[in-house]
Amino acid sequence: MVTRFSDSRNEWKDAFIGRERELAWLKQNWQEVFEDCGTRVCVLQGDSGFGKTRTVQKFYSWLSESDIYDPNSYWPDNLFQSNNDLQVNPQFDDFVSSNSKEMPWLWWGVRWDDPNRRNIDAGDPCEFINYTGALAAHRETISAGVGVRNKLHNAGLIALDIATPFIETLSGYGLLKSSIDGALAIKDAITEKVGKNSTIAEQQTKTEKQKREDILNFFLSMLDHSVSSHSTIPMILFLDDAHWMDEASIKEIVEPLLSTSIAKKLRLMMIITSWEKEWYSQLDAEKISFPEVYERVTSNKAYVGSIKNIGRVEGLDQIVHHAYPGLSKSQGLRILNKCDGNVLLLHEILLWIGTENNRYFFDGKNQKSHLSPVGEKEIEYAQFDLEQLQNKRFSELTYEIKLLLSAASIQGMGFCSELLYKTINHNTKWFDVATEYESHLFQSIRPHSVIYSKDNEYFEFKNKVYHRAARATA
């Protein structure tokens, strides 16, 4: 696949290169689902950074831009965004003009990014429940079918508006009385009290179980004529980083959905991404896992499931050349050897080379020129590791930005800006950053790219390395 770059020097960050076979494989499986040949399960295996999620995003773009599969342009053209390259669902705002159009197929993505999700309690929300908001844009289209509205409402998929703002909810529980330390103490006390009250805990478990049942019923109502009085449509279910999939999602949603869909030859395409090592280690584990379910439900049905190992990417020299056009061929190869075909690592290396502190790497300190002898040696002897690079980038932030992010990290990977502002104004530890709060926050987005904005109020760390580094300074 040849990627055409515009004159924008930063466009290399969005490039899609070297995954033609994987993309063709996804297209072929979709065509079989669309033509009513039954369920297909596609597993993309590979280490972090090799482009699994990006390949699925490209498949979505092909699907949504197709005159055959989306003739009325119901779906937005892209999942991928420069400020969030792990997006698994289209953005809600992109559907504003689509509500009156007929939905040709349903896409729903769920992403697991926390290893601890595999160990959640039965009363905690499974990851599917956390992603029901992605269906908000389709509220009118989906609920037009007879009987579907009730299923959606029961599953919490219709009533998606937040009744009480996040900040007011926390304030109502007294979580902002003096400092974040006090907040955590109160939260722990509430948690302990609830834990002793088995009635509340049992009720929560029952409620979450019912939600999972309703999500499964929703899937089947969209796919199966025998349980629905309205016309069905094909569904693409994208499960990203499924090696961290929680047990409740596996046992109560994914396994029964797959078993039913395969047996009835329903028009379901399930796309899975997983790290290779975790996939095979979980096959031998005693605890239920998606790899074990996959092996079991697709056994003796070779046409249903297929696994594609996604390794080194070829053609990354295009990215290097566009990022730094003045480099010689040998200098470009020097950089490519460092990333070993890992796109994400290549991006990190190119960003590191291009920092202001490293201008001396280039002849005349001109980043459009070739590398100087000093720059070549610096790159040659550097020990690149994705996490090491990300930790280094965080360590180079100003004291004020690191202090602000340490306060933000207490909320988790995602944080509310209003709560963050109140936090730093209620604790003397963070007073130093209160006066230039907005400036530090937006510098964290640009140029430092440590966090990204989900909307005007909510932000998220780009990855867990940055979040852990911020927590370590809290």
287, 399: one domain:
no
> Tens digit of pLDDT for each residue in 243-272?
889 999 999 999 999 999 999 999 999 999
What integer pLDDT is reported at residue 147 of this predicted model?
41
- In angstroms, how far is the first alpha carbon of the chain from the final one? 45
The pairing of beta strand 40-45 with beta strand 305-309: parallel
Residue 325 covered by a domain: no
Q: Are 349 and 337 in contact (CB under 8 A)?
A: no
Instruction: State how many domains the chain has.
Output: 2
Tokens of 167: 């900040």
Average pLDDT, the chain: 78
Location of structure tokens 């834990």: 195
Buried b (16+ CB within 10 A) or exposed e, 417-448: bebbbbbbebbebbeebbeebeebbebbeeeb
The pairing of beta strand 106-111 with beta strand 305-309: unpaired
Domain span holding position 424: 393-472
Domain boundary (309, 332, 365) is at 309
What integer pLDDT is reported at residue 443 of this predicted model?
85
Give the three-class secondary structure for 49: coil
Q: How confident is the model at residue 124 (pLDDT cuts 50, 70, 90)?
A: low
What integer pLDDT is reported at residue 1 of this predicted model?
43
Q: Which amino acid is at 63?
A: L
The mean pLDDT value for 136-153 works out to 53
Looking at the whole model, is its pTM more than 0.85?
no
Tokens of 244: 């961290």
77, 210: one domain:
yes
Residue 452 covered by a domain: yes
Q: What is the DSSP letter of 16?
A: -
Question: 192: domain CATH number?
Answer: 3.40.50.300
User: Of 258, 235, 247, whose CA–CA distance to 108 is shortest?
Assistant: 235
Residue 378 or residue 180, greater confidence: 378
Give the three-class secondary structure for 181: helix
Residue 245 covered by a domain: yes
Residue 446 covered by a domain: yes
> Tens digit of pLDDT for each residue in 24-52?
999 999 999 999 889 999 999 987 778 89
The edge-to-edge listing of strands for the beta sheet with 458-461 is: 414-416, 458-461, 451-453
What integer pLDDT is reported at residue 240 of this predicted model?
95
The three-state DSSP-derived secondary structure of 305-365 is EEEEECCCCCCCHHHHHHHCCCCCHHHHHHHHHHHCCCHHHHHHHHHHHCCHHHHHHEHHH
Residue 339 covered by a domain: no
Residue 145 covered by a domain: yes
Is the N-terminal amide bond of 447 cis, ω within 30° of 0? yes
Query: How far is residue 30's CA from residue 68's CA, in Å, rounded to a whole number?
Result: 12
Domain boundary (258, 282, 309) is at 309
Domain boundary (253, 278, 309) is at 309
What integer pLDDT is reported at residue 125 of this predicted model?
66
